[in-house]
Amino acid sequence: MAITPTNKTTQDFVPIKEIRDGVVILKDGSMRSIILASSLNFALKSQDEQTSIILQFQNFLNSLDFSVQIFIQSKKLDIRPYIAILEDRYKEQVGELMKIQTREYIEFIKTFTENSNIMSKSFFVVIPFTPSVIQGKGDLVGKVFGKKTDKKKEAEVKIEDFEENKSQLEQRMSVVEQGLVRCGIRVAQLGTEEIVELFYKIFNPGDLEKPMQVN
Residues 6+ apart with CB under 8 A from 23: 31, 32, 33, 166, 169
Burial class (CB in 10 A: 0-12, 13-18, 19+), 78: middle
DSSP secondary structure, 22-44, as one string: TEEEETTS-EEEEEEE----GGG
- CA geometry: angle 157, 159, 162, nearest 5 deg: 110
pLDDT at 151: 53
pLDDT at 10: 62
Q: Is 7 helix (H, G, I), strand (E, B) or coil?
A: coil
87, 74 Cβ separation under 8 angstroms? no
pLDDT at 76: 77
pLDDT at 190: 93
pLDDT at 137: 42
pLDDT at 160: 76
pLDDT at 150: 55
Q: Which of 57, 37, 36 is nearest to 45 (CA)?
A: 57
Q: Is 181 helix (H, G, I), strand (E, B) or coil?
A: helix
pLDDT < 70 positions in the chain: 1-12, 133-157, 206-215
pLDDT at 53: 92
35: alpha, beta or left, given left = phi > 0 and alpha = psi -120 to 50?
beta
pLDDT at 211: 37
- Per-residue DSSP letter, 208: G
Stated as kind and residue range, the H or E segment containing 99 is helix 96-115
pLDDT at 126: 95
Domain ranges of the chain: 13-77+120-209, 78-117
pLDDT at 115: 79
The amino acid at residue 115 is N
